[in-house]
Structure 1
Amino acid sequence: MKKYKIPGASLAIVQDGKLIYQEGFGEQSNGAPVTKDTMFTIGSVSKPITSLAIMKLVDDGRVDLDQEISQYLPHFHYRKDSSYQEVTIRQLLTHTSGISSYDGMVLADRNLRGEDAIATAVQELSGVSLNHEPGEVHEYSPANYLLLAKVIENVSYQSFTTFMDDEIFKRIGMYRTVSNYRDAEELGYQPGFQTWFGKPIKSKGFMDDSGAPYGYMVSTSDDISRFIRFMLDGGGGLLSEKTFSMYTSPQVHRKEDMYYGYGWRISANADDSYYFHGGETPDSRSELFINPNGNYGFILLTNKNNFSEVHSTIWMRDGIKKILENGTMPEVKPVNHHLQWIVCSITVFIFLLCVWNISRLRTKAAIKKRVWIFIGSLSLLLAIGIIPLLSYFFSTPWHSINLYAPDIAFIIKLLVGTFTLNGVLLLMISLLKRNEARH
Structure 2
Amino acid sequence: MNDITIENDSALTEFVAATAAEHDMPGMAVGIWADGRVIFANTGVTSTENPVPVTEHTLFAIGSTSKTFTTTALLRLVADGRVDLDAPVRTYVPELTLLDERHAAAITVRQLLNHTAGLEWNIINNTGEGDDGLAAFVASLAELPLIAAPGERPSYSQAGFNLLGRVIENVTGVPFEQVVAETVLAPVGLRESFYSRDEVMTRRFAAGHERQADGQLAVARAWKGTRANNPGGGLGSTVSDLLRWGRFHLGDGHGEHGDTVLPAELLDRMKQPTARLRASAMADAFGLCWMLRDVDGVRVVGHDGSGFGQFANFQLVPERNFAVVVLSNASPDGIPANQAVVRWALRHYLGVVDADPEPVAFDAGRAPELFGVYDIDAMTMTCYAEGEQLLLECKVKPEIRAAAPEAEIPQDHPPFPFGLLPGDGDEYVITAGSFQGQRGFFSRDERGEITGIDLAGRLFTRIA
Distance 2:379 2:353 in 1: 42
* Structure with the larger helix share: 1
Question: Does the CA contact (< 8 Å) of 2:35 and 2:322 recur in 1?
Answer: yes
Question: Does the CA contact (< 8 Å) of 1:48 and 1:262 recur in 2?
Answer: no
Question: Does the CA contact (< 8 Å) of 1:56 and 1:238 recur in 2?
Answer: yes
Distance 1:122 1:316 in 2: 37
Return closer, same or farther for 1:328/1:314 CA change in 2, 3 Å cut-off. closer
Amino acid at match of 1:180: S
Residue 5 in structure 1 maps to residue 28 in structure 2 = no
Question: Does the CA contact (< 8 Å) of 1:259 and 1:268 recur in 2?
Answer: no
Question: Does the CA contact (< 8 Å) of 1:36 and 1:221 recur in 2?
Answer: yes
Residue 231 in structure 1 maps to residue 256 in structure 2 = no
2:92 aligns to what? Answer: 72
Residue 199 in structure 1 maps to residue 219 in structure 2 = no
TM superposition shift of 1:130: 2.7
Deviates more, 1:253-262 or 1:79-88: 79-88
Return closer, same or farther for 1:82/1:328 CA change in 2, 3 Å cut-off. closer
2:410 aligns to what? Answer: 406
TM superposition shift of 1:327: 9.0
2:317 aligns to what? Answer: 291
Return closer, same or farther for 1:157/1:294 CA change in 2, 3 Å cut-off. same
Amino acid at match of 2:311: R
Distance 2:210 2:123 in 1: 19
* Structure with the larger strand share: 2
Secondary structure of 2:124's aligned partner: helix
Secondary structure of 1:273's aligned partner: strand
Amino acid at match of 1:120: A
Alignment partner for residue 239 of structure 2, among 213, 221, 226? 221
Question: Does the CA contact (< 8 Å) of 1:113 and 1:180 recur in 2?
Answer: no
Question: Does the CA contact (< 8 Å) of 2:29 and 2:326 recur in 1?
Answer: yes
TM superposition shift of 1:65: 0.2
1:177 aligns to what? Answer: 193
1:344 aligns to what? Answer: none
Question: Does the CA contact (< 8 Å) of 2:328 and 2:334 recur in 1?
Answer: no
Distance 1:25 1:330 in 2: 26
Question: Does the CA contact (< 8 Å) of 1:319 and 1:330 recur in 2?
Answer: no
1:427 aligns to what? Answer: none
Q: How many pairs are equivalent? A: 351
2:267 aligns to what? Answer: 244
1:315 aligns to what? Answer: 340
Return closer, same or farther for 1:84/1:155 CA change in 2, 3 Å cut-off. closer
Distance 2:181 2:341 in 1: 31
Map 1:266-415 onto structure 2 (within 5 A). Answer: 266-268=292-294, 271-306=297-332, 310-326=335-351, 391=380, 393=382, 394=394, 397-398=397-398, 399=400, 406-408=410-412
TM superposition shift of 1:234: 2.8
Distance 2:411 2:114 in 1: 33
Aligned structure 1 segments of 4 or more residues deviating by more than 6 angstroms: 327-331, 400-405
Question: Does the CA contact (< 8 Å) of 2:220 and 2:408 recur in 1?
Answer: no
1:359 aligns to what? Answer: none
Distance 1:91 1:327 in 2: 32
TM superposition shift of 1:405: 6.5
Secondary structure of 1:106's aligned partner: coil
Return closer, same or farther for 1:259/1:330 CA change in 2, 3 Å cut-off. closer
TM (normalized to structure 2)?
0.69
Question: Does the CA contact (< 8 Å) of 2:66 and 2:234 recur in 1?
Answer: yes
Secondary structure of 2:116's aligned partner: coil
Residue 52 in structure 1 maps to residue 85 in structure 2 = no
Amino acid at match of 1:89: V
Return closer, same or farther for 1:60/1:395 CA change in 2, 3 Å cut-off. farther
Secondary structure of 2:21's aligned partner: coil
1:93 aligns to what? Answer: 113
Secondary structure of 1:123's aligned partner: helix
CA RMSD of aligned residues (A): 3.3
Larger radius of gyration: 1
Return closer, same or farther for 1:191/1:270 CA change in 2, 3 Å cut-off. closer
Return closer, same or farther for 1:111/1:14 CA change in 2, 3 Å cut-off. farther
TM superposition shift of 1:105: 4.5
Question: Does the CA contact (< 8 Å) of 1:113 and 1:181 recur in 2?
Answer: no
Question: Does the CA contact (< 8 Å) of 2:123 and 2:141 recur in 1?
Answer: no
TM superposition shift of 1:210: 1.8
Map 1:44-193 onto structure 2 (within 5 A). Answer: 44-80=64-100, 82=102, 86-101=106-121, 104-107=122-125, 110=126, 112-193=128-209
TM superposition shift of 1:111: 8.5
Q: Specify which structure has the bigger relative contact order, considering alpha-carbon pairs within 8 angstroms and separated by 6 or more residues.
A: 1
Question: Does the CA contact (< 8 Å) of 1:43 and 1:281 recur in 2?
Answer: yes
TM (normalized to structure 1)?
0.72
Distance 1:84 1:281 in 2: 29
Secondary structure of 1:100's aligned partner: coil
TM superposition shift of 1:276: 1.1
